[in-house]
Amino acid sequence: MRLAILADIHGNVLALEAVLRDAAHQGADALFDLGDRVSGPLWPRETLDLMRKHAIPGVRGNHDRLAGSESPDGLGPSDRFAFDALDPESRAMLRALPFEASPAPGIRAFHATPQHDDRYVVEDIVEGRLVRAPVAKIARRLGPVDARIILFGHSHRPDLLRLPEGRWILNPGSVGCAGYQDTTGRAHVSEAGTPLACYALLTLTASGDPDITFRALPYDNEAAARRADENGRPDWAAPLRSGWMPAALGGSGA
């Protein structure tokens, strides 16, 4: 089976359309999503409608949990935008997504870590940016996850590691959000360094090890950036255009 692994679409229906076309062209047998479908100032309802049309299964991300809240009280602007765009049934569907899942034998999937939907497995925060954590720390964060292959998203950074004891861990990168600023906890930014729509193709081999292909696709990212600008979010528009947050482009924000 060839599985197309998606993550962190964040309401970018244009990027999702490009990924779905490419996955079909690449011969993917199935799709699986690692969460954070709709949060952001782009096209939440259209993104969720397209995912429903293709019956894409997956797990719940932290922003699915927030945008799917029963009340908008306390939501940040990205989650509130999605909340307002969705009807109660759609929000309930987001809330009902599972925290973790097994999309195929020997594979375990969750959005961020096995215990939390809003923390990092592979990255540490250093001077306001994400950097690779030591392998021993990564293994401790995973704990005794009993799976040959572990899938997660959340950081929006494509990554593939084989831990010393043999487990593989894969982050496919972000379909639709090439950078973000997180002001909760220890403030930091994540930057893909490219505006392309990212996902991964996973094929299981006879040995149980993965055959992985990372895909990074052009799409009409300028239209997505204009949409963010129109909705008052230049902090979203900058990475959609460039893959970098405003400060990296000489702006004043981190």
Angle (CA) 183-186-189 rounded to 5° is: 60
| Tens digits of residue pLDDT in 174-216 | 999 999 999 988 999 999 999 999 999 999 888 878 999 999 9
The pTM of the full predicted model, rounded to 2 decimals, is 0.96
Which of the four pLDDT bands, split at 50, 70 and 90, describes residue 248? Answer: low
CATH code of the domain in which 193 resides: 3.60.21.10
Domain membership of residue 223 (yes or no) is yes
254 within some domain: no
Q: Indicate whether 119 belongs to any domain.
A: yes
Query: Which among 127, 155, 128 is positioned nearest to 138, based on CA atoms?
Result: 155
Is position 118 within any domain?
yes
Q: How many domains does the chain have?
A: 1
Q: Is residue 216 part of a domain?
A: yes
> Domain for residue 169, yes or no?
yes
The CA dihedral of 57, 61, 63, 65, to the nearest 10 degrees, is: 80
Domain containing 119: what range? 2-249
Express each pLDDT in 217-242 by its tens digit: 999 999 999 999 999 999 999 999 99
The tokens describing 160, both together, are 């593939």
